[in-house]
Amino acid sequence: MSKQTKPKPSGLKPGNRVIMHSCYEARKEKYAGKVWTVDSEPWDLCGSEVVRLRGYNGGFATEFLKKWEPKPCEFEVIKDVYWDDWGHLRKVFRKGDVCKGKLWPDGHVSAESPYYPGISDSVESECIVILGEGSQL
């Protein structure tokens, strides 16, 4: 009888953000590029290290998960951006502003408004042009 080797510990912890890679689920349109949140400590399931992902049923093998952080980016606002504030539209970015934000794997950008400190949300892609990302900044 051969001895099975234990999987390498992934180091994943609850709250980590991950994306699926090199597995069947990663190729499915509804999961491709999706950022998941780890909801459990890793555990052993039939010789594989698995974790629970928020919004996914059952455990998922950590060997098919890659830790993910959004990339920093810089963008120029080409059209005023408004966000809903309890039924009132507030201008949060002005045309011509050059701002810093976070670029997510699905291509959307989130950023904090320079006019409302501490308030951040997604920025509509048709309102901005990305000037640089990641190590280019």
Query: Is it the case that residue 7 has pLDDT exceeding 70?
Result: no
Q: Are residues 62 and 98 in the same domain?
A: no
Q: Are residues 121 and 78 in the same domain?
A: yes
Which pLDDT tens digit goes with each residue over 46-55?
A: 999 999 999 9
Which pLDDT tens digit goes with each residue over 78-94?
A: 999 999 999 999 999 99
Q: Are residues 32 and 54 in the same domain?
A: yes
> Which residues on adjacent β-strands are paired with residue 33?
none
Q: Are residues 63 and 77 in the same domain?
A: no
> Which residues on adjacent β-strands are paired with residue 130?
75
Whether 129 is covered by a domain: the verdict is: yes
Whether 94 is covered by a domain: the verdict is: yes
Q: Binning pLDDT at 50, 70 and 90, where does residue 130 land? A: very high
What is the CATH classification number for the domain harbouring 108? 2.30.30
Mean residue pLDDT of the chain comes to: 90
Q: Are residues 61 and 84 in the same domain?
A: no
Whether 2 is covered by a domain: the verdict is: no
Which pLDDT tens digit goes with each residue over 15-46?
A: 999 999 999 999 998 888 888 999 999 999 99
Query: Is it the case that residue 2 has pLDDT exceeding 60?
Result: no
Q: What is the DSSP string of 105-127?
A: TTS-EEEE-SSSTT-EEEE-GGG
Whether 97 is covered by a domain: the verdict is: yes
Q: Which residue has the higher pLDDT, 22 or 7?
A: 22
Q: What is the DSSP string of 40-104?
A: S--EEETTEEEEEBTTSSSEEEGGGEEE--PEEEEEEESS-EEEEETTEEEEEE-TT-EEEEEE-
Q: Are residues 42 and 98 in the same domain?
A: no
Whether 114 is covered by a domain: the verdict is: yes
Number of domains in the chain: 2
Domain range holding 87? 71-136
Model pLDDT, residue 69:
83
Q: Binning pLDDT at 50, 70 and 90, where does residue 68 land? A: confident
Q: What is the DSSP string of 35-53?
A: -EEB-S--EEETTEEEEEB
